[in-house]
Amino acid sequence: MPKVVDRQNRRRSVAEAIHRIAARGGLEEVSVRMVATEAGLSVGAVQRAFPTKNDLLRFALDTSVDEVAARFSRIRIGPELLTFAEGLRAVLVDLLPTDERRRAQIRIWAAYYARAAVDPEFAKVLADLDTRSRANLTAALTYARDQGELTSGQDIDALVELLMVIIDGLWLTCARLPEGTDLSGPRAAIDAAVALVSAR
């Protein structure tokens, strides 16, 4: 009977507006009014899509997590696919702010992590992503060990933890690089990490 809007699309476009704002000035600059303007909507329209601001941020976080998870899962190692070393390098290189979208995402993630440090609800979302990442890394490392691609004498679980640390550290290190800085530093770190973990 009544007018009906595509709620899902509405929410998606609002989430993108949030990310554009957050990429410019951090999560602190994200206000309902700003989001509405950025998305070309009225405040009321945004309010109907997301009753509270917390819903707004939660959805934006979920969206971002999904995007990163999807990017990761596209990189597959295995027979006739990538070797472990190639896959690890691909995952790490994919984190680098090589384009504007990635640069924006890194800024946003820095904000999310800061919030997760004091907001259990946000922490839980990231913890879930961690669980998935850990599982993926464990599988990859097990495969690598079976293929003899791994530096011997290392505990796989410990290596997984180290790789988690390196992944987080890599994008965080990039987060505070001034725009336009060349990425040779982070690239060297990736080289060193791959070299140390892979069999010589």
**Burial letters for 64-77: b for 16+ Cβ neighbours within 10 Å, e otherwise?**
bbeebeeebeebeb
Cα 51 to Cα 62: distance, rounded to the nearest angstrom: 17
27/36 with CB nearer its own copies: 27
* 3-class DSSP assignment, residue 10: helix
Q: Given the structure tokens 């839980």, which residue do they identify?
A: 124
Helices (H), 50-155: 53-73, 84-95, 100-116, 120-146
Which amino acid type is present at position 47? Q
169 binds its own copies (CB under 8 A): yes
Q: What minimum distance in Å lies between the beta carbon of 182 and its own copies?
A: 13
Task: List the Cα angle 174/170/167 in 5-degree steps.
Answer: 145
Q: Name the binder of 115 from DNA, its own copies, none, CB < 5-8 A by kind.
A: its own copies
Q: How many residues bind its own copies (CB under 8 A)?
A: 52
Candidate list 118, 148, 180, 182; residue touching its own copies; CB under 8 A? 118
Give, as ranges, the residues between 91 and 110 that touch its own copies (CB under 8 A): 106-107, 110
Question: Under the criterion CB under 8 A, does residue 185 sit at the interface with its own copies?
Answer: yes
Residue 8: CB minimum distance to DNA, A: 11
Bridge partners (DSSP) of residue 77 are: 82
Binding test (CB under 8 A) with its own copies, winner from 63, 123, 142, 147: 123
Please report, as ranges, the residues that interact with its own copies according to CB under 8 A. 24-28, 106-107, 110-111, 113-120, 123, 126-127, 151, 153-155, 157-159, 161-162, 164-170, 172-173, 175-176, 178, 185-186, 188-189, 191-193, 195-197, 200
